[in-house]
């Protein structure tokens, strides 16, 4: 088990290094003068030239890459050009908000997705099946920015039930979590449904049925337990996916998280900040995949056996 986890982690390292390289090259070939941007309309050319020289922006790219890598390993992602603060600090301060959003959204997606998947598997081709699958498909097919706008308009503006935007307490989390969670509920629902249908074809379920167990019992006690294995593992991946889905949600609801930082970094062309934010998100995705793999191996006896053989 430990060996497996260790090996998975080792494989991730070259991937990570490759990513830093791709990212660095992509972001550093951008033309234009970041310093001119720092100061916008009301700055004189003399001041711009002066600050540019002070920021080592004229070193060759390879020198800058290794400086970046060495610093990144020590947790130093440089300073944001626009915000004049360490990128690492900015990301760590914003991360809890993003994590909170992602977790709430994940909860929403499970609350909608799992029952939808189970119901539509059990009552296949019934009206309930159609309804739930339609509902979750609607979530997948709606652009997040659009559903956010509609929900804001209805619940905050017309009904005055929920705050419009910002993040000052749990009430502010409801709309963003619904918007983001709904968008991935469909994936959960489909996976639950197909996984449950597959499990129910297996012999032991037929046996259980034959023994005269009631259908609900069969499903909850036997089938669901196994059917949820792939669902659980996708949850780990999903949290990472939600973290990047938060990009749009956070900007619409003015939540000061990592996604908002990323969008701001792009619009203000703050290269070090963008670089740090994307790297941060990427590490999270890799971690999510890692957790998923390990979780899967722990939960699924077949894989566990396979691993024993390998090791």
Partner 1 sequence: MAAPATPATEPETLEDASFLRDTLRAFRKNRMAMVGLAFVVLLVLGAIFAPWVSPHDPYRVALDEQLLPMSHTYWLGTDNFGRDVLTRILYGARISLMVGIVPSLVSLTIGTVLGILSGYLGGKTDFVVMRLADMMIAFPSLLLAMVVMYTLGANLLNIFLALALVGWASVARVVRSQTLALREKEFIEAARANGTARATIMFAHIFPNVVPTLIVLFSLSIPEAIMWESSLSFLGVGVQPPEASWGLLVAKGKEYIFQAPSVAIAPGIAILLTVMAFNFIGDGLRDALDPSMKD
Partner 2 sequence: MILTPKMKLLLASGLASLMLMSPALAENMLRISNTEDPKTADAQMTTDLYTLPLNIFDRLVESETTGPGQSSLVPGLAESWEVSADGLTYTFHLRAGVKFHDGAVLSADDVVYTFDRMLNPATKALNTDILTFIAGAEDRLDGKADSVSGLKALDDHTVQITLAQPYAAFLALLAAPGASIYERAFTEAAGDQFGLTPETTNGTGPFILRDYTLNDSQMLEANDDYWRGRPELDRLLVRVVADSETLRMLFESDEIDVLDLDYAPTQTPYFYGSDTWKDQIRSGPRVGIYYYNINQAQKPFDDVRVRKAFQMAIDRQTIVDKNFYGKGKLEDGVMPRGLTCYAPAEPIAYDPAKAKELLAEAGYPDGVDITLSQAANWSQKWSDMNQIVQAQIAAAGFRATIETPDEATFMAARKAGETHNYMQVWSADFNDPDNFFYTFFSESGSKSRAYNNNDPEVFADIVKARGMVDQEARCKLYQDLTARIVGTDAAWVPLFSLDHNYVVQPRVKNFVVPWNGWSDMSYYKVEVE
Kindly list the residues in this chain that would bind partner 2 in the complex (CB under 8 A): 30-34, 36-48, 50-51, 54, 82-85, 90, 93-94, 149-150, 152-167, 171, 174, 251-252, 254, 256, 260-261, 264, 267-269
Q: Which does 217 bind (CB under 5 to 8 A by kind): partner 2, partner 1, none?
A: none
Q: What is the DSSP string of 49-117?
A: HHHHHHTTTTS-HHHHHHHHHHHHHTT---B-TTT-SBHHHHHHHHHHHHHHHHHHHHHHHHHHHHHHH
Token duo for residue 81: 């050009």
Q: Which does 165 bind (CB under 5 to 8 A by kind): partner 1, partner 2, none?
A: partner 2
Residues 6+ apart with CB under 8 A from 144: 179, 180, 183, 245, 248, 249, 252
Least distance between partner 1 and beta carbon 143 (Å): 5
Q: Which does 154 bind (CB under 5 to 8 A by kind): partner 2, partner 1, none?
A: partner 2
Q: Which does 93 bind (CB under 5 to 8 A by kind): partner 2, partner 1, none?
A: partner 2
Q: Which does 61 bind (CB under 5 to 8 A by kind): partner 2, partner 1, none?
A: none
Least distance between partner 2 and beta carbon 55 (Å): 8
Least distance between partner 1 and beta carbon 142 (Å): 5
Q: Which does 14 bind (CB under 5 to 8 A by kind): partner 2, partner 1, none?
A: partner 1
**What residues make contact with partner 1 under the rule CB under 8 A?**
11, 14-16, 18-19, 22-23, 26-27, 29-30, 124, 137-138, 140-146, 149-150, 153, 184, 187, 190, 194, 197, 240-241, 243-245, 247-248, 251, 262-263, 266-267, 269, 274, 277-278, 281-282, 285-286, 289
Distances (CA, A) of 83 to 100, 203, 205, 270, 271: 24, 61, 59, 9, 12
Residue 46 or 193 with smaller CB distance to partner 1 = 193
Residue 35 or 208 with smaller CB distance to partner 2 = 35
Question: For 266-287, b where at least 16 C-beta lie within 10 A, e where not — what string?
Answer: eebbbbbbbbbbbbbbbebbbe
Least distance between partner 1 and beta carbon 16 (Å): 8
Least distance between partner 2 and beta carbon 66 (Å): 24
Token duo for residue 161: 């039930």
Distances (CA, A) of 282 to 16, 26, 75, 285: 8, 15, 15, 5
Question: For 53-70, b where at least 16 C-beta lie within 10 A, e where not — what string?
Answer: eeeeeeeeeeebeeebee
Calculate the CA dihedral of residues 297, 299, 301, 302 and round it to 10 degrees: -50
Q: Which does 281 bind (CB under 5 to 8 A by kind): partner 1, partner 2, none?
A: partner 1
Least distance between partner 2 and beta carbon 173 (Å): 11
């Amino acid at each position: 088990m430990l060996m497996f986890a260790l090996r998975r982690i080792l494989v991730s390292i070259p991937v990570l290094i490759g990513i830093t390289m791709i990212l660095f090259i992509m972001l550093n070939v951008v033309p234009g003068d970041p310093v001119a941007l720092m100061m916008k309309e009301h700055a004189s050319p003399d001041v711009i030239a002066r600050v540019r020289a002070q920021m080592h922006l004229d070193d060759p790219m390879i020198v800058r890459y290794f400086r970046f890598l060495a610093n990144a390993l020590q947790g130093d992602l440089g300073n944001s050009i626009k915000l004049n603060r360490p990128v690492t600090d900015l990301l760590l301060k914003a991360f809890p908000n993003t994590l909170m959003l992602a977790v709430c959204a994940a909860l929403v997606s499970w609350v909608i997705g799992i029952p939808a998947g189970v119901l539509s598997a059990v009552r296949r081709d019934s009206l309930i099946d159609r309804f739930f699958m339609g509902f979750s498909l609607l979530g997948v097919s709606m652009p997040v920015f659009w559903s956010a706008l509609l929900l804001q308009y209805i619940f905050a503006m017309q009904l005055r039930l929920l705050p419009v935007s910002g993040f000052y307490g749990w009430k502010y989390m409801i709309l963003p979590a619904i918007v983001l969670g709904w968008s991935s509920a469909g994936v959960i629902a489909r996976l639950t449904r197909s996984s449950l249908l597959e499990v129910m074809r297996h012999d032991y379920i037929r046996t259980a049925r034959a023994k005269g167990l009631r259908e609900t019992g069969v499903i909850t006690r036997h089938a669901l337990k196994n059917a949820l294995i792939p669902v659980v593992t996708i949850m780990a991946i999903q949290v990472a996916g939600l973290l990047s889905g938060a990009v749009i949600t956070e900007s619409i609801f003015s939540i000061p998280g990592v996604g908002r930082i990323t969008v701001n970094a792009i619009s203000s062309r703050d290269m070090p900040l963008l670089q740090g934010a994307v790297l941060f998100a990427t590490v999270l995705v890799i971690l999510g995949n890692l957790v998923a793999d390990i979780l899967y191996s722990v939960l699924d006896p077949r894989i566990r056996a396979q691993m024993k053989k390998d090791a």
